[in-house]
Chain A
Amino acid sequence: MANDHMQTTAPDTGLRIKTEVKFQEAGAPSPAAGGEPDIVCRKVNLSYGDNHVLHDVTMDMEDRRVTALIGPSGCGKSTLLRCLNRMNDLIDNVTITGEILVKGLDVNAASTDVIEVRRRVGMVFQKSNPFPKSIYENVVYGLRIAGINDKATLDEACERSLKGAALWDEVKDRLGESGLGLSGGQMQRVCIARAIAVEPEIILMDEPCSALDPIATLKIEELMYQLKEKYTIVIVTHNLQQAARVSDKTAFFWLGRLVEFGPTADMFTAPSGKLTEDYITGRFG
């Protein structure tokens, strides 16, 4: 499954092999445990009307790794994130060119089912958005939408997802209570459980911790370490320390362009670009 796209995007094989080699040098486990490009962006351009927001973004996000997108507000990082599961469809007057492949699936192709894209590419937002339903119903919501109503299946999915989101022990005795009664950090983990209940391959996180206190933030970050064993994660964050802590690779965006993209440890100790260095050290502007 993970290797399907290797054939579908044959022209770029050379580039990807290069990326892979780099990863092994960095002391990562063998490619069998992830590291192949999972999401492939080629010359992605996006405009909102006349406003050209993303310029020729070309990058690969690797399988079962955490990729962090950083940059000042308005640099296009969230826009790129939303391209990956077609969340920009919800905005009028958007033009996207270039190619985005998720596990070999051309996200923007006319033949591609957007529902299928969003099932495979889950998303967690800045502000946790639990539905005014029980914790249980919040978690299995996606499955119900998909027409699954078998109680045993839903129970199993609920427990598995809550365990996956490191929340099971805290809520297992009150699954019937409203999701709105949880703490901010718990609500965000309910949203993560809801995202993984439909068994996606990729999880996008748009500033998942910006509304959380440090303890809840650490819990989500710990969770990300566990989640990346099964899922490819792309996270947008304004918190540089968070990017440094959780991600394997970091991409720095500025004015809609990808300025620098490399192993996180290198980006935060010895970035190659002056612009990156100025941003990371807080001397921007």
Chain B
Amino acid sequence: MERHQFEGELQNLRNQLLTMGGLVEQRVHRAVHALMHRNEEDAQRIIATDKEVNDLQMDIDNRCLRLLATQTPLAVDLRLITSAMKINADLERVGDQAVNIAESVLVLIPQPPLKPLIDIPRMAAIAEKMIRDALDAFVRNDAALARDVLRRDDEVDELKDQVFRELLTYMMADPGTIQRALSLILISRHLERIADHATNIAEDVIFITEAKDVRHHAEEQEPKP
């Protein structure tokens, strides 16, 4: 007894989540690119096209609901579909963060650059890679890769603290920099949140593949065997 129809539906769901992941990752990338190249038009476009992400999110949720209602999935299938709904929400939030970054970029563009940007593009590169790897782990049921994503979250957190400390010195030295410094701090905060969403997705992947709930550092608190 094989469930070809159902298997096909699950594959469609996976593909659609991948499309969603690719879409939001690209939007984060473009938002940071717009920041680096002071490209107002790109930033505007990201804000204007957020609807694509929202529509896809609703589409994926509908698909999941329909599968839950009609296929009564159990065990790994149940974990996959319920987690897909959570991953879907995380990806949509990543899309929102891209919009937030683009909005901050629009605040920054009319003003002279405050400083050369070094840590923010590094944060962005790590966060984008985390999203991509979390989705790769999802597609390949690769819990080891998912755990690797979890480890990288700390790097992003540290970079965010570093950005914050550095910009604080600018603001203390010259109140005229406050608006630009705050915009940059907000951008680093958005990137840090994107890494957090990647972490959530990685945790869901571990739940799907191993039926283990590792959220809230549950795994670190387990007594070592």
Q: Which of A270, A280, A282 contacts B211 (CB 8 A)?
A: A270
Residue A111 interfacial (CB < 8 Å): no
CA distance A280 to B73 in the complex (A): 9
Residue A99 interfacial (CB < 8 Å): no
CB atoms of A285 and B74 under 8 A apart: no
Q: Which residues of A contact B77 (CB under 8 A)?
A: 281
Stretch at the interface among B1-9, B99-107, B188-196: B1-9
CA distance A282 to B3 in the complex (A): 7
Residue A240 interfacial (CB < 8 Å): yes
Question: A282-B1, A282-B6, A284-B1 in contact; A270/B79 too (CB < 8 A)?
Answer: yes
CA distance A282 to B77 in the complex (A): 10
CB atoms of B211 and A283 under 8 A apart: no
Q: Which of B61-104 touch A at CB < 8 Å?
A: 72-79
Question: A269-B79, A269-B211, A270-B211 in contact; A280/B74 too (CB < 8 A)?
Answer: yes
CA distance A208 to B77 in the complex (A): 28
Most buried by B among A240, A241, A244, A270: A270
CB atoms of B1 and A281 under 8 A apart: no
CB atoms of A281 and B73 under 8 A apart: yes
Q: Which residues of A contact B78 (CB under 8 A)?
A: 268-269
Nearest A-chain residue to B212, judged by Cβ:
A270
Kindly supply a per-residue 1/0 record for chain A positions 163-181, scoring 1 wherever the CB is within 8 Å of any chain B CB and 0 otherwise: 0000000000000000000
Interface size class of A (residues with CB under 8 A): 10 to 19
Task: Determine how close the nearest CB of chain A comes to the CB of B186; give it in whole angstroms.
Answer: 40
Q: Which residues of B contact A280 (CB under 8 A)?
A: 74-75
Nearest B-chain residue to A270, judged by Cβ:
B211
Task: Determine how close the nearest CB of chain B comes to the CB of A255; give it in whole angstroms.
Answer: 16
Residue A277 interfacial (CB < 8 Å): yes
Q: How many A-B residue pairs have CB under 8 A?
A: 35
Q: Which of A220-275 touch B at CB < 8 Å?
A: 240-241, 244, 268-271
Q: Which residues of B contact A277 (CB under 8 A)?
A: 75-76
CB atoms of B72 and A241 under 8 A apart: yes
CB atoms of B1 and A268 under 8 A apart: no
Task: Determine how close the nearest CB of chain B comes to the CB of A131; give it in whole angstroms.
Answer: 37
Q: Which residues of B contact A270 (CB under 8 A)?
A: 75, 79, 211
Most buried by A among B6, B72, B76: B76
CA distance A268 to B78 in the complex (A): 9
Nearest A-chain residue to B77, judged by Cβ:
A281
CB atoms of B72 and A281 under 8 A apart: no
Task: Determine how close the nearest CB of chain B comes to the CB of A65; give it in whole angstroms.
Answer: 21
CB atoms of B79 and A240 under 8 A apart: no
CB atoms of B75 and A268 under 8 A apart: yes
Q: Which residues of A contact B211 (CB under 8 A)?
A: 269-270
Task: Determine how close the nearest CB of chain B comes to the CB of A8; give it in whole angstroms.
Answer: 37
What are 22 A-to-B residue pairs whose CB atoms are below 8 Å?
A: A240-B74, A241-B72, A244-B74, A268-B74, A268-B75, A269-B74, A269-B75, A269-B79, A270-B75, A270-B211, A271-B75, A277-B75, A280-B75, A281-B73, A281-B74, A281-B75, A281-B77, A282-B1, A282-B6, A283-B1, A283-B2, A283-B3
Chain B residues proximal to chain A, CB less than 8 Å? 1-3, 6, 72-79, 211
**Other A-B pairs, 12, CB within 8 Å; known A269-B211, A280-B74, A283-B1:** A240-B74, A244-B74, A268-B75, A269-B78, A270-B75, A270-B79, A271-B75, A277-B76, A280-B75, A281-B3, A285-B1, A285-B2
